[in-house]
Structure 1
Amino acid sequence: MIHNRILQLLSVAMAVLVLFSTLSISIEKHYCGEHLVDVAIFTEAEKCGMEAADMGQETSGEDSLFMKNSCCKDVVDLVEGQDELSLEKTKELNSHQKVFIFSIAYTFSGLFELEPQDHSPFEYYSPPNVVEDIQVLNEVFLI
């Protein structure tokens, strides 16, 4: 029973490992000047509204040479997951690696063997003393 539980936990852990190794995550950060305004995972970060004010200014002639740069900036961090899962690398094991893996598996499989229980749950229980035969005393017999 414990052996089955360990195998179930191991298989769930391996499934979660495969899931997270193939997952790609994008983290978007919005800075207004030097201050971090918003951080968003999988979605677009919320803007502070300052870039709209900078874009709304009309520049003409001489002012266009001295146009102010926007104080806001967006930073996108992309954590890419694994694209392909293949088993071909495991097919390329040499004989020494196969012997090592087999010996480790054999060694650890012996750790989870259950020993038979010689312990009786009624070891410290003593039955009541029989003073008289109650069935004969009450004249009640099973037929």
Structure 2
Amino acid sequence: MKKAFQHIISICMAVMVLFSTFSFTVDKHFCGSYLVDSAVFSKAKTCGMQMSAAAEAHCCSNEKISVEGQDELKLSFDSFDFNQQLFITTFTYTYFELFETLPKQIIPFKDYSPPLLVADIQLEDQVFLI
């Protein structure tokens, strides 16, 4: 129960970090006080009125809402100095060299079935392990 709870909390925290760094824009188009279209990640469709620019500016309006994510969690390898880059590279290389792959074991008889037992030989010869 405790491990399951820890896994759930870990997943929730990972999702929270993901959404805190996520930025998006909501674009809305109003014709008078009527909302014609709203779009996320793209431009909203207009109402299709073919009017002059002055009349369209008075009648129609666009509203753009931008939600910026935090940038503090973004790390770049170039932002580290030379000693830190050397340490990270060396640590990563030595860590992955710790794990060696084992050679594939070949079992020559895996495709063959064992012989059928006609009789229990130990019982017939009366040889028992004590």
TM-score, normalisation: structure 2:
0.51
Secondary structure at the counterpart of residue 25 of structure 2: strand
1:28 maps to which residue? 27
Which structure: larger Rg?
1
1:46 maps to which residue? 45
Secondary structure at the counterpart of residue 55 of structure 2: coil
Alignment partners' CA distance in 1, 2:43 and 2:65: 12
Secondary structure at the counterpart of residue 68 of structure 1: helix
Instruction: Deviation per CA, 1:86-129: give whole Å up to 9, x if none.
Output: 8xxxxxxxxxxxxxxxxxxxxxxxxxxxxxxxxxxxxxxxxxxx
1:9 maps to which residue? 8
Q: 1:43 to 1:68 in 2, by over 3 A?
A: closer
2:55 maps to which residue? 68
User: How many aligned residue pairs are there?
Assistant: 73
Matches within 5 A, 1:89-100: none
TM-score, normalisation: structure 1:
0.47
Q: Which has the higher contact order (CA 8 A, sep 6+)?
A: 1
4+ residue runs over 2 A deviation: 67-70
1:45 offset after TM fit, Å?
A: 0.8
Is the aligned partner of 1:84 residue 2:72?
Answer: yes
1:19 maps to which residue? 18
Alignment partners' CA distance in 1, 2:46 and 2:35: 11
